[in-house]
Amino acid sequence: MQSFFIICPLGLEQICYSELKEKYSHYFSSDLEASSINVIRGGIELGLPLHQGLLLNKILKTPTRILWRLHNQKCRDLPKLYKIIKKISWAKILTQEIVNCEVSASKSRLFHSSKIKGTFDKALKDYFNANHIPKKILDKFKESPVQTIYLRFHEDNLTISLDTTGERLHKRGSKTVFSKAPLRENIAAALGHYLLSYLTLQEKITLFDPMCGSGNLLIECLNFEKINNRNFNFEYLQIDQSSDVPKVDKYKCPYQLKELIGSDYNEKLIEQLQKIDSPVSFFVNDAFKKINTELATPLVILSNPPFGKRIKLPLPPKDFYPKLISSYLKHYPVKAIGLLLPSQHARFLDYQNALEFDYNGLKLKFIIISP
C-alpha cells in the first residue's frame, strides 16, 4: 500500500470523496476501506496500491491534483533534511536527475523556503553523483516533463510528496473554445454531479445552460463518466505501467442525460461552439428571453451567470439574480435550477439547498431551487 493525497477545491472535499467512492468500486471491483481514508480541509488522504492511486488521475474529474507521498517523519533542522533526502531511492523512481521543488511550512522550526530548497537541491545532487539513473532510462525519457517534489513542513513534521498529475486535473487537454470568464472544468464537473445526484431523477434529463459561455458545465456533465485522455506525470516515472487503463464504459453515472442545450448572447462564441462535433446543441439567445427551440422534460437548468467582476452585471445584484430566476420560471417548466453566484448575493434568492466553497479567493455559493 502507498499513501496518496488528493487535492480538492476548498469546500468541495465531500463531492470529491463521493466521486472517488463511486468510481473506485466500479473500476477496481471493490469498495474503499473506510479505515484507509481521511477527508480533511483541502483534500483526501488515503492508502492504495500504487497503480490504483496513480490511475485516479485517469478516473476522477473533480480534484485538482494527486500527490504520491514518498516519506514522512520529524525534521527540525537542515542537516536532518539533507540526510532524509539522500536516503530516498530517487534513481528507482525518477527518469531525470533534475526536479522542481515546492516548499510550504507552518508552525515549524524550518520555515525559510530558499534555505530548505537549497538543502534539497544539494542533497539530491549528491545523491545522484553516487546513484546515477541508467543512460538508457535518461535517453528514453529525455523529452519527459520535469517532475515536481513537494516538501511540506507542519509542526516540525516533514511530508515529501511527488506530483503524479502535472498540469492541474482541470486541464482536460481537449478544449478549443474559450470564453471571457470560464469556470474551471473540475469545478463544473463537481457542481453538475452534485446537482444531478441530489435530484435523483429516474427519467433521462434535459440539461439546459442559458448562459453557457464556452459550455464547460454542460460538457463536464456529459463527460463525467469518461476517463481523462491526456498525459500525466506518473507516466514518466520508473514504475510498472502495465496495469490496464480503465475503460471508458466501465463507470455509469447515477443519472442519465437525454439532451444538452446551451445558449449565450455572444454570437461569435456560439458560432465557434457549433463547429465542434459535440452532442451539445448551442444557440444564440438572451438569457432573459425564451430560447427558440423545444426543451423536453424533465428540464434542469444549470448555470454560472456573471459575478460582476470580469463581466459586469446589467443590474445591481439584488435585482439581477431574482430577475434571472423569474425569467427561467416564466419561460420553462423546470424541475430544478442550479445557480452559482457569490455567497453575499445568495441572500437575494430563496433556495432549498446550497453548497459553499472557495474559488480563486472568492466565496461562492451553489444554490438549488426546486419550484
Grid cell of 209 as nine digits: 445552460
Mean pLDDT for the stretch of residues 171-189: 77
Mean pLDDT for the stretch of residues 169-174: 82
Amino acid 181: pLDDT: 61
Residue 340 · residue 366 · CB < 8 Å? yes
Statement: residue 184 has pLDDT above 80? yes
Grid cell of 7 as nine digits: 487535492
pLDDT tens string 273-315: 888 888 899 999 999 999 999 999 999 999 999 887 767 788 8
Amino acid 48: pLDDT: 93
Grid cell of 95 as nine digits: 527518469
Fold of 185-369: Rossmann fold (3.40.50)
pLDDT tens string 213-269: 889 999 999 999 888 989 999 999 998 766 666 655 567 788 889 999 999 999 998
pLDDT band of residue 175 (cuts 50, 70, 90) is: low
First and final CA of the chain: distance in angstroms? 48
Amino acid 244: pLDDT: 61
pLDDT tens string 158-170: 999 999 999 999 9
> 50-59 vs 13-27: helix axis angle to the nearest 10?
110
User: Which pairs count as long-range contacts for 167-170, CB under 8 Å and 24+ apart, including other chains?
Assistant: 167/230, 168/64, 168/65, 169/57, 169/60, 169/61, 169/63, 169/64, 169/65, 169/66, 169/228, 170/64
pTM for the full predicted model: 0.92
**CATH 3.40.50.150 residue ranges in the chain?**
185-369
pLDDT tens string 97-124: 999 999 999 989 988 999 999 999 999 9
**CATH 3.30.2130.30 residue ranges in the chain?**
2-163
Amino acid 207: pLDDT: 96
Mean pLDDT for the stretch of residues 134-155: 95
Statement: residue 127 has pLDDT above 90? yes
| Mean pLDDT score of the chain | 91
Residue 219 · residue 302 · CB < 8 Å? no
pLDDT tens string 32-74: 887 789 999 999 999 999 999 999 999 999 999 999 999 999 9
Residue 217 · residue 310 · CB < 8 Å? no
Residue 305 · residue 269 · CB < 8 Å? no
Q: Which of 226, 276, 218, 274 is nearest to 251 (CA)?
A: 226
pLDDT band of residue 26 (cuts 50, 70, 90) is: confident
In the chain, the percentage of residues whose pLDDT exceeds 70 is 94
Assigned CATH for 2-163: 3.30.2130.30
Amino acid 182: pLDDT: 78
Amino acid 194: pLDDT: 95
DSSP state of 34: G
